[in-house]
Amino acid sequence: MLTSCPADPVLKYCLPLPFRELAPGWLRGRARLRHNGRSISCRHLSMLIRPRQPFDFHRTLKFILSPPAQASGRKFEPLLDHFEEDEYRRVVEFDGEQVLYGVREEGRALKVRILAGPSNSGTQTAVRQLVERQFSASLDLAAFYRRVASDPVLSRLTRHFRGLRIPQSPNIFAAVVSAILDQQVNLAFAFKVKKALVECYGGHVERQGRRYFAFPSPGALAILSPRDLRKIQISGPKARYIIAIARDALDGRLDLEGLRGEEPAAAHARLLEQKGIGPWTAFFVGLLALSHLDALPSGDVGLQSAIHAFYGLGRRPSPARVERLAQNWSGWRSYATFYLWLTYWETPQWRKEFILQLRGGQYARKRSLAKS
């Protein structure tokens, strides 16, 4: 059932936002209130977020919505994240109730609205804060670009991916479980297992004949046995890890949302205390759920391969060599890693042409040094 707004919804909701952005809606709302003599549903009020520039909504969505290009050409259907009618949509849970929200770009702003579920002022505020965090709206990305301006590879990548943010998972528990399911399996199998998990144990919202799923809550998974998860092809060890983490999160032994307020090193260490979470998984959660800006997975094969291909190295670098190279990215090593990873989302032809451009630049620099 939808809940109604407080007695004065426009005043209560709009005052925290810049008047110049909301004045037309304010005046129209007041006119309707006086003319019709009834209150306006909060569902008809949209929230505006003005991300710090540079910001590229559609490039960021590409990472959220699409896996890397598959050699087989296979495409995956939407699971939790949807793009419909020029709007990004996802279901989240607040206080045990499912909420479907939508985000679309209007000019240089993001327009956020609740499409289904409770729409009271508390939920509106929670959704707005979630979207600001999910799209890293307040981050000064220009500082990252200045930091790597002298790097021959990243300076080019920041121009190509300009405005692209690291999207943050709306749900830390979902990020942890997804990272565990991704361990040591191919992308297609991981998607199949996550789809089964979500459809078997996740909540959902119905809207206009469509069903939108939410990721299973800790409570939904904590009551399961490993045998239950084995039925959807989750391995025995992973099933035990996931159930244990769900139970720890449910009874308060593991405060995943509280990790947002901890220093990155402390949050990383806390994650490593959990069985099933190793250094790579902890890095992944820090990158895509905790907004850690300066982490480096120096042992990641994908990062090593990208460095090997783009920096003209004779062989794939060791973790120690990755760490030496990354000293030039200090303060922004998570973003440097992310932009290098993003090259796998591009076509093979793009990567080939990019390498040729880099080699041309390297050749020109060598000639310049030789003349001097």
Residues taking part in catalysis: 300
DSSP state of 87: E
Question: Residues with Cβ < 8 Å from 188, sequence gap 6 or more?
Answer: 70, 74, 76
The DSSP secondary-structure symbol of 323 reads H
Partners of 211 in the β-ladder: 206
The helix/strand/coil state of 325 is helix
Residue 290 structure tokens: 């905790």
Cα–chain center distance at 303: 19
Residue with tokens 């490039």: 59
d(CA 223, CA 225): 7
| Structure token pair of residue 65 | 């919505």
Rounded to an integer, what distance in angstroms lies between the CA atom of residue 213 and that of residue 63? 19
Beta bridge partners of 106: 109
CB 295 within 8 A of CB 333: yes
Distance between CA atoms of 42 and 4, rounded to whole angstroms? Answer: 7
Collect all residues with Cβ–Cβ distance below 8 Å to 32 and sequence separation of at least 6: 40
Distances (CA, A) of 300 to 68, 238, 356: 16, 21, 24
Q: How far is CA 18 from the centre of its chain?
A: 27
> Sheet holding 109-116: strands in order across?
47-49, 109-116, 97-106, 87-94, 82-84
Backbone angles phi, psi at 178, to 5 degrees: -60, -40
Neighbouring CB atoms inside 10 A of 247's CB total 17
- The Cα 77–Cα 280 span in angstroms is 26
Residue 363 Cα to chain centre, angstroms: 38
